[in-house]
Structure 1
């Protein structure tokens, strides 16, 4: 497969914006928020972090269908992508000015940054069909995903150099990384010209959600998978948001130790995506995803009983394997069960389901931590979502679902 210039430019956006998820949401800023900014608060920093995540993801979920309609029916995808990217960059860089006690400002800036980051991705994803041949889109998407992991690794290594004496410089460093490498995207990515379709974006968004509800309930295997995804994604997203916070609170791991922990986990995420992609191709995707969820159950049980930082490193290896495999195969599963000419509508609904689950998980985790006074009870509670997701996954009859999706008549 020979990549076009536009495809390479498109993938550089993954390289750029993965820095935000890795450094801000998952590894460094999350711990800084809990241990420094919200230090001494009676509610607990973990609970306050859960509120910031919940608010930003609620806004992202509400606006996702509207932004998706705008992406499909305007000639301004690139302009909107630029707007939300700049907003992410500015609000991330401004985190430099928050420190201990600056709770309100820190929450406002993070909420804006996380909402903007998720909103930008709507327009970024909408460019995928324009950057390559239809037969190559899966591989281009996969390469972009892998390139994003590399971007996350690069910023983690840079953060490791700054963390000891200049931790506040990490946030503008992330903003600069996004600015530099997303510029490659904006310089190379060309928006296709076509006639403007005048649409009421709010009506289109509502129609799409209603369309999905109407037809999904008539497609039992697709419905069962989406319920399964909703349940287990609650657990996955919560682990992403709280893994570093858990390590810092339970084992006194320093920021440097946590960065190294996630560098290692990124490596096994590559392995997981590749290995379980092979299982999905050779056997079937439901089996590959089922094994991933069993690994997740082992991860949260092990986390509950984990006693040392060294043991937590080994746990990180297993968690990386689980996250790489489950995220890659979830998208594949939906694609197989969805009619080819209706993937835009159903992938939009899939995104909406994912964002709603991203609200619930951190909120539940924060509440349990606040009430129990110990994150171990919060992490073990996630086993309910992984087991429930696994049970629902086994209600999916894959061959029947694929056949039904190909033959289903939309009326």
Structure 2
């Protein structure tokens, strides 16, 4: 597949925000919170609070993105809103450096802000995909972006890992270096996209404001209800991808709870990035051969296995057995994490009416792409009720399976023309 400069620049942004996703969201922020900000707090309680904050950020981003998406679509302003949330996310990430031991509240406020900005910015980034890729090429381009995103996240993560090892006796400095490195990488690799990716202009129409955007959002919500397959996919997507995001968000705090050493965790996450790169590309290749829907079924099945494996951890008395299960689950995450996200994104582009990509992708985020809501609440509730966050992860198998069932009922436009039904 020959890539244009605009497509390469769009992929480059996936590499840019991968630094935040891996360094801040997945590794260093939860470790910083558990080890420093929440010092003296019960570990299970701290994990539950982390889950509630993550769910709240997902809900906030899910409300903001479609509202501003409706304005951006009408005003051809997707890149402007993307830049705003990118800037907000970078400032909030750098602000994490100002917190220290026992500063749980300010740390959570800054993290919440950064996570909302990251999630919202990705809504506008995704909405640019239809502008640079013919529909027939969206599966492969989306998969390539996710695959290179893993490599993009690994490069600064390797630097942060090296600094962490060198500053083993000064972990506070290592954490702050990681937050700065993630912010710098995020903004630096975002530059090509702002220069070379051009969104399609809509036909001349009246510019709309924020209040108009709310009215337009309401109309879009009603319109999505008329697009039966888009609406059905969004519900299915929420059910399965929310679990994917939950596992990503909660893996680090849960690993601390079950006694996984920090160096084990960091090396495991590093290995997963290299594993995810070829598997994400393979998902794109197999999607062209077997269809994106079948590969999504495959990925959902893998995540059901992951959820059930994590649920077995509380039953193990041996630390070695717990580590073994953790490593197997981590390996399975590496094989399917990129594939399920990239193919979901490209699958959804085929269901969007022309000229409404930012609005529809805003709703897409409400229903789960980067907004994890249900899963963290389940984990937090399980931690409170059973004193075991792992049980909350095991419960995710249920929405995963329901999501797969609803996905089977979604028909693409080409299937409707042929009268094909997967239900």
* Interval containing the TM-score (normalised by the shorter chain): 0.7 to 0.9
- Give the Cα–Cα distance (whole angstroms) in 1 for the partners of residues 147 and 218 of structure 2: 30
**TM-score (normalised: structure 1):** 0.86
Aligned residue for 2:66?
65
Distance, in Å, in 2 between the alignment partners of 1:343 and 1:402 is 19
| Structure 2: distance between partners of 1:321 and 1:105 | 36
Report the CA distance shift for 1:134/1:21 in structure 2 as closer, same or farther (over 3 A): same
3-state DSSP class of the match of 1:99? coil
Residues 1:130 and 1:277: Cα distance change in structure 2 (over 3 Å): closer
Q: Closer, same or farther in 2 for the Cα pair 1:357/1:123, shift >3 Å?
A: closer
CA distance, structure 2, for counterparts of residue 278 and residue 138 of structure 1: 9
Assess, with a 3 A threshold, how the Cα gap between structure 1 residues 284 and 139 changes in structure 2: closer, same or farther. Answer: closer
Q: Which residue of 1 is the match for residue 403 of structure 2?
A: 389
- Are 1:235 and 2:239 an aligned pair? no
Residues 253-264 of structure 1: pairs in structure 2 closer than 5 A = 253-254=261-262, 256-264=263-271
Instruction: Determine the C-alpha separation between the residues in 2 that align with 1:257 and 1:55.
Output: 29
How many Å apart are 1:218 and its aligned residue? 6.3
Following TM superposition, by how much is the alpha carbon of 1:54 offset from its aligned partner in structure 2, in angstroms?
2.2
Of residues 129-138 and 37-46 in structure 1, the stretch that sits farther from structure 2 once superposed is 129-138
Three-state SS of the structure 2 residue aligned to 1:230 is: helix
Please say if 1:321 is aligned against 2:335. yes
Question: Structure with the greater relative contact order (CA < 8 A, sep ≥ 6): 1 or 2?
Answer: 2
Deviations 1:322-351 (A, max 9, x none): 322322232343344555676555444322
Equivalent residues in 2 for 1:101-112, closer than 5 Å: 101-112=102-113
Retained in 1: the 8 A contact 2:142–2:346? no
Q: CA deviation at 1:258?
A: 1.4
C-alpha separation in 1, matches of 2:384 and 2:23: 25
What is the correspondence of 1:9-408 to structure 2 with a 5 Å cutoff?
9-42=9-42, 44-74=45-75, 76-131=77-132, 136-164=137-165, 165=167, 166-189=174-197, 197-216=206-225, 219=228, 221-254=229-262, 256-306=263-313, 307-338=321-352, 345-354=359-368, 358-394=372-408, 396=409, 398=411, 402-404=414-416
Instruction: Provide the C-alpha distance between the structure 1 equivalents of 2:352 and 2:83, rounded to a whole number of angstroms.
Output: 31
**Equivalences, count:** 403
Q: Is the 8 A contact 1:34 1:49 kept in 2?
A: no
Partner SS for 1:358: coil
| 2:373 counterpart SS class | helix
Counterparts of 2:137 and 2:296 in 1: how far apart (Å)? Answer: 23
Structure 1 pair 186/279, CA: closer, same or farther in 2 (3 Å)? closer
Instruction: Give the TM-score taking structure 2 as reference length.
Output: 0.84
Deviation at 1:189, TM superposition (A): 4.4
Please say which of residues 282-291 and 104-113 is displaced more in the overlay: 282-291
CA distance in 1, matches of 2:205, 2:251: 45
CA distance in structure 1 between the aligned counterparts of 2:78 and 2:359, rounded to whole angstroms: 17
Q: Deviations over 1:261-312 (max 9, x none)?
A: 1122223333433333344332333322222222111111122224232442
Deviates more, 1:58-67 or 1:118-127: 118-127
In 2: Cα distance, 1:70 partner to 1:34 partner: 39
Residue aligned with 1:304, SS: helix
**Structure 1 residues 327, 135: closer, same or farther in 2, change over 3 A?**
closer
1:44 aligns to what SS in structure 2? helix
Give the secondary-structure state (helix, strand or coil) at the position aligned to 2:101: coil
Structure 2 contact 12–189 (Cα < 8 Å) conserved: yes
